Amino acid sequence: MDHKNPHFEFLGLGFNPATLMMVTITCVIVLLIAVLATRKLSMKPTGMQNFMEWLMDFVRGIIGSNMDWKTGGRFHVLGITLIMFIFVANMLGLPFSIQVDGYLWWKSPTADPAITLTLAVMIIVLSNYYGIKLQGFGGYAKTFVTPMWWLFPIKLIEEFANTLTLGLRLYGNIYAGEVLLGLLAGLAGMWHGGGIIAAIIPTLAWQGFSIFVGTIQSYIFVMLTMVYMSHKVSQDH
């Protein structure tokens, strides 16, 4: 795992071109899946259409477990987009990583805290926006002092805590998986190639487990997104 991240500056801001590239690749893959799954719709779904309809029902179930459909239906497309984007992003760094001149260019974009925290901030901002839109500013502001006014500072802290935990949970799980895969890859190069025999079984086992973790993390992120949304937009919260 001895590598550096590529870097450039634009207007005084620092950017990682590898992360930008991987996010773009993730978006292209998600777009291709969506187009291929919906380009030939039929009354009797088969193949990719079956998968997309299953995914839509799955996300609808997540929303339904947190709020009524009249309120939560507006977040259906958001949930589908998030679960597809995060799942694909989690999977990209599993098969291999690519380093050029000591710089890491191919990895899971969700192994970068800047990406996961940006997603988390987006969700928290959206939840607050819809809270104001659906309840009005007065009704929304009242939630910070309900049931007791002295809970106001605690609820402010909760907003920051939700942002950090939502983003860092995803980052930590994916980054830790890639670190261990890197260590196993290093083991494979030891003992004049004999390490390949020692590393192949744990590497395959860990890759299988990482697929499970990446899938679960995409589900958890969407579930928590809908939980935070329901807390802001539902009248009974």
Give yes or no for a contact between 127 and 232, defined as CB atoms under 8 angstroms apart. Answer: yes
In a domain, 116, yes or no: yes
Amino acid (one-letter) located at 112: D
Question: pLDDT digits over 160-210, tens only?
Answer: 888 999 999 999 988 887 777 777 666 656 655 555 666 677 777 777 888
Task: Classify burial at 109, counting beta carbons within 10 Å of its beta carbon; exposed 0-12, middle 13-18, buried 19 or more.
Answer: buried
Question: pLDDT digits over 62-112, tens only?
Answer: 999 888 888 888 999 999 999 999 999 998 887 666 666 767 777 889 988
In a domain, 85, yes or no: yes
In a domain, 128, yes or no: yes
Q: What residues make up the domain containing 154?
A: 8-233
The total number of structural domains in the chain stands at: 1
- Neighbouring CB atoms inside 10 A of 141's CB total 14
The pTM of this model reads: 0.85
Q: What is the pLDDT, as a whole number, of residue 44? A: 75
In a domain, 2, yes or no: no
In this prediction, residue 46 has a pLDDT band, given cuts at 50, 70 and 90, of confident
Checking phi first, is residue 102 left (phi over 0); if not, alpha (psi -120 to 50) or beta? left
In a domain, 204, yes or no: yes
In a domain, 3, yes or no: no
Distances (CA, A) of 225 to 37, 67, 76, 127, 133: 25, 12, 11, 8, 17
Any idea which residue has 């710089």 for tokens?
A: 103
Specify the higher pLDDT residue, 204 or 215: 215
